[in-house]
């Protein structure tokens, strides 16, 4: 493989001077203090905010179905996009136990009840199986972020493309095709691979044989058959066969328009989610690790070093990014309600600055461009085989009122 397509681990301090002066211990202590404060502030207001976001999604679904039969149009496509995207963002935070601490919350909005059993078809009916997502994303990705055991290291998955001697236009065309299809060509196969197809129990990470586009039609594989029967066929049949057929009383043309709008919306939600999710941990200024962290303080540091935020702000800004614009804070505190990330983000950013931990934040589109350059081989991520030796903690200072959660 060409040298340009691999990124060797680096040494300190010459190769990574920005990491040499990190105060990991002091940062870890400050994050622990913040953690206790923010968890104690979780309340019914967080539940009310989540239900408001859910209503936005239901309103979008209503608009989509009321207009889908008229003719192919952008209003319907956008509505279906946000309807489906809302169910995913709710699943993301609820399955992370983000609302389990809210007093008196209904069980269906906790990790113990959401999308479990038959509720999958009400709560989060997607290409992705909820149990598979829970293990692949919430455990393997979050607790091995940017390590060899992380199943979602983009740079590793596209080494074949980075090594190809083809025009850059061809490589960028691959990125476009992936964006249009990635939920069913990448995420559904990737997540289902982590479960035993017979028992749906979690496989040990060293026993996982991942399904990909290369073997997705190998029906001799129990995992591939499980993927088709539990994910691809149910979702595809419902959205692209049953739903259009329900509009046949309005005529075959109406049913055809529904199908077209559904297909266009599927392309859009794939692109929208790809734009929001894929760049979070892939760029030339983010780190991959050839080691596993030791203890919670190193965990906090590695999550910041391997993650990037987008612009943050209000509900509109956050909703457009499906609340993935707080990726750093989410990886430090994976089990917080959505609203809490907006509260802790400026605090975490200030703590990173105080303790000299690099904090990356740019617009979603700039981060997407950085990720695309990794995919096509223009750039590479940074790799290290250890964190720097501990440095003296920052001098003790009086608490800053600006670094508290309201």
Q: Average of pLDDT values for 213-228?
A: 88
**pLDDT at res. 394:** 52
**pLDDT at res. 11:** 47
In this prediction the pTM is 0.89
Residues whose CB falls within 8 Å of the CB of residue 266, separated by 6 or more in sequence, listed in order: 239
pLDDT of 208 over the 80 cut: no
Q: What is the pLDDT of residues 87-143, one digit of tens each?
A: 999 999 999 999 999 999 999 999 999 999 999 999 999 999 999 999 999 999 999
The upper half-sphere exposure of residue 135, i.e. CA atoms within 13 Å in the direction of its Cβ, equals 18
Angle formed at CA 194 by CA 385 and CA 216, multiple of 5 degrees: 110
Distances (CA, A) of 257 to 79, 80, 253, 275, 400: 15, 14, 6, 27, 58
pLDDT of 402 over the 90 cut: no
Pairing label, strands 360-361, 308-309: parallel
pLDDT of 43 over the 80 cut: yes
- Spatial contact of 179 and 274, defined as CB atoms under 8 Å apart: yes
**pLDDT at res. 388:** 85
> At which residue do the structure tokens 């060797």 appear?
8
1 against 330, higher pLDDT: 330
Q: What is the pLDDT of residues 267-308, one digit of tens each?
A: 999 999 999 999 999 999 999 999 999 999 999 999 999 999
Split at pLDDT 50, 70, 90, the class of 213 is: confident
Q: How far apart (Å, rounded) are the C-alpha atoms in residues 212 and 69?
A: 35
Q: What is the pLDDT of residues 144-170, one digit of tens each?
A: 999 999 999 999 999 999 999 999 999
Q: What is the pLDDT of residues 24-33, one digit of tens each?
A: 999 999 999 9
pLDDT of 4 over the 70 cut: no
Q: Average of pLDDT values for 370-380?
A: 96
**pLDDT at res. 256:** 98
Q: What is the pLDDT of residues 55-102, one digit of tens each?
A: 999 999 999 999 999 999 999 999 999 999 999 999 999 999 999 999
Q: How many residues does the chain have?
A: 406
> At which residue do the structure tokens 């990173």 appear?
352
Q: Average of pLDDT values for 376-383?
A: 95
When mean pLDDT is compared across 19-23, 83-87, 331-335, the lowest value belongs to 19-23
- Spatial contact of 342 and 326, defined as CB atoms under 8 Å apart: yes
Split at pLDDT 50, 70, 90, the class of 3 is: very low
Name the average pLDDT for the chain.
Answer: 91
Per-domain residue ranges of the chain: 3-388
């Amino acid at each position: 493989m060409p040298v340009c397509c691999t990124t060797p681990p680096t040494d300190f301090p010459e190769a990574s001077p920005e990491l040499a002066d990190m105060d990991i211990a002091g940062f870890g202590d400050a994050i622990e203090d913040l953690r206790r404060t923010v968890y104690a502030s979780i309340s019914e207001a967080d539940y009310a905010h989540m239900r408001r976001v859910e209503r936005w999604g239901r309103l979008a679904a209503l608009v989509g179905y009321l207009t889908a039969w008229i003719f192919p149009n952008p209003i319907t496509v956008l509505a279906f996009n946000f309807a489906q995207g809302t169910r995913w963002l709710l699943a993301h935070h609820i399955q992370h136990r983000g609302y389990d601490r809210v007093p008196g919350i209904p069980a269906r909005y906790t990790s113990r009840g959401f999308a479990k059993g038959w509720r999958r078809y009400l709560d989060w009916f997607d290409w992705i199986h909820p149990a598979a997502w829970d293990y692949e994303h919430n455990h393997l990705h979050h607790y091995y972020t940017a390590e060899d055991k992380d199943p979602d290291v983009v740079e590793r998955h596209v080494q074949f493309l980075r090594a190809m001697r083809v025009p850059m236009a061809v490589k960028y065309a691959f990125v476009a095709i992936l964006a249009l299809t990635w939920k069913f060509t990448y995420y559904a196969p990737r997540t289902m691979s982590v479960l035993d197809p017979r028992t749906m129990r979690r496989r040990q990470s060293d026993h996982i044989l991942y399904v990909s586009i290369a073997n997705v039609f190998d029906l001799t594989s129990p995992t591939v058959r499980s993927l088709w029967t539990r994910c691809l066929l149910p979702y595809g049949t419902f959205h692209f066969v049953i739903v259009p057929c329900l509009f046949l009383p309005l005529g075959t043309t109406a049913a055809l328009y529904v199908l077209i709008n559904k297909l266009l919306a599927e392309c859009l939600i794939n692109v929208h989610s790809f734009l929001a999710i894929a760049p979070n941990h892939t760029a030339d200024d983010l780190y991959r690790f050839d080691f596993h962290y030791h203890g919670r303080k190193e965990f906090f540091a590695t999550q910041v070093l391997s993650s990037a935020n987008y612009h943050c702000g209000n509900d509109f800004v956050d909703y457009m990014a499906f609340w993935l614009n707080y990726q750093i804070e989410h990886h430090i505190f994976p089990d917080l309600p959505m609203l809490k990330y907006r509260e802790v983000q400026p605090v975490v950013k200030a703590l990173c600055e105080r303790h000299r931990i690099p904090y990356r934040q740019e617009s979603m589109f700039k981060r997407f461009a950085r990720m695309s350059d990794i995919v096509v081989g223009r750039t590479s991520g940074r790799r290290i085989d250890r964190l720097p030796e501990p440095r003296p903690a920052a001098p003790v200072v009086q608490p800053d009122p600006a670094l508290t959660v309201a």
